[in-house]
Structure 1
Amino acid sequence: MLWIKALHIFFVMAWMAGVFYLPRIFVNLAMENNDVATQRLLTMARKLYRFSLWLSVFAVVFGAILVYMQYGAHMPGWLHAKIFLVVLVIGYHHACGSILKKFEKGVNQRSHKWFRVFNEVPVFMLLAILVLVVVKPF
């Protein structure tokens, strides 16, 4: 079980690195006027999105295995809340994919300031998840 937990933590860390950095690329894309630089940023964003998507799959799979091994069908309340937040992070990641498509089509309407705020959302979700896992408040 410790191997599964270690792999889960590794893939979560790697996935979250992508989730944190991808919106930062959006900040730069929203500010960019140079076509060459824009294409370079789009290439980076595409590759990061696809790579972090695979990392998310492994993070979720190893997490599901852990839940099954530890709790079966009788999960504590904090775990329900954690799973809910993980679903929100997955939704956020997919929203990043939609935003990326808008940048690729050249139809983004949001400012770099909006993306700076958007970039902070997963930080708070991850903090809440960590508190639930470590403190187990309920």
Structure 2
Amino acid sequence: MSQDSQTSEKAGRKARLRAAVALVVFVTMIALVLHVDPAESYLWIKALHIVAVISWMAGLFYLPRLFIYHTDAQPGSDKSETFKIMEQRLIKVIMNPAMMISWVLGLYLAWSVYGFSGGWLHAKIGLVVLMTLTHIYFSRSARRFLLDENTRGARHWRLMNEVPTVLMILIVILVVVKPFA
């Protein structure tokens, strides 16, 4: 298998290094915000939480699209091997860190601002749990693709591509409208 400059091991190491640097910068920003003025940190933590959620959602939208295209690739082909690299990097470099930061900052906000109270908040957390389970399902599916053991067709992945969208819509409505306040 020939690897181009984007799928080589060297490119993978560079991607992991860039992701690690970004994660350190992100965590440092959070620490500075909390240290400099904890009383004024709410808006900064909220902004960083939104950035993390957007990054996580981007991965949740893109990964099933990769699966759709991957199902058409012959196992072992250059095309299939490229999709494997893309899927693994997306999960490890973007989705997993973004999900973890989303959870940590989201729970911090739920505790510090709302004291974990409010029906809308409980419903939102429940939907975020479903989003996390979707993430886990996608991650396990990527592992099956990696092992050339995928048994799902493109139609399944087209349907699964809608799950994060529906969950996101419901979560945004709960956060903005707070119908069960």
Normalised to the residue count of structure 1, the TM-score between the two structures is 0.96
What is the rounded CA distance, in whole Å, between the counterparts of 2:80 and 2:106 in structure 1? 36
Secondary structure of the residue that 1:72 maps to in structure 2? coil
**Structure with larger RCO (C-alpha < 8 A, sep 6+):** 1
Runs of 4+ in 1 over 3 A off after TM superposition: none
Amino acid at match of 1:46: Q
Secondary structure of the residue that 1:91 maps to in structure 2? helix
Give the CA RMSD over aligned residues. 1.0
What is the rounded CA distance, in whole Å, between the counterparts of 1:63 and 1:97 in structure 2? 22
The answer to which structure has the higher helix fraction is 1
**What is the number of equivalent residue pairs in this alignment?**
137
Larger deviation: 120-129 or 100-109?
A: 100-109
Q: Pick the aligned partner of 2:96 from 50, 53, 57.
A: 53
Q: Within 5 Å, give how 1:1-138 maps onto structure 2.
A: 1-33=42-74, 35-51=77-93, 52-73=95-116, 75-138=117-180
Secondary structure of the residue that 1:137 maps to in structure 2? coil
Shift in Å, 1:7: 0.4
Which ranges of structure 2 fall in alignment gaps of 5 or more residues? 1-41
